[in-house]
Amino acid sequence: MQLLMLGRVGIRGRGGGSRGDPPGWAVTAFNRGRHGAPPDGVWHLVGDRTAVGRLAALAEWEWDLA
């Protein structure tokens, strides 16, 4: 299963710890890349959901939950 997290994920609160991902899920983080890399094992796509044309990094992926 594929999970997409939008925004800053360097500090993940109630949504999950740095390795508190649901078993069997692959996690992808989509953010502007301003606050360092996400935790180990998390795919990182850089973009900006508020800027025209900056969602291109999402075009080739599919997620089960976003």
Residue 12 pLDDT > 70, yes or no? no
Q: What is the pTM for the complete model shown?
A: 0.69
Confidence band of 14 (pLDDT split at 50, 70, 90): very low
Per the listing, tokens 């080739």 go with 60
Average pLDDT over residues 47-59: 82
Q: Kindly compute the dihedral angle of the four CA atoms of residues 48, 51, 53, 58, in this order, to the nearest 10 degrees.
A: 30
C-beta separation of 58 from 42 below 8 A = no
What does the chain look like in DSSP terms, one character per residue?
A: -EEEEES--SS--TT--TT-PPTT-EEEEEE-S-S-PPPTT-EEEE--TTSTTTTGGGTT---SB-
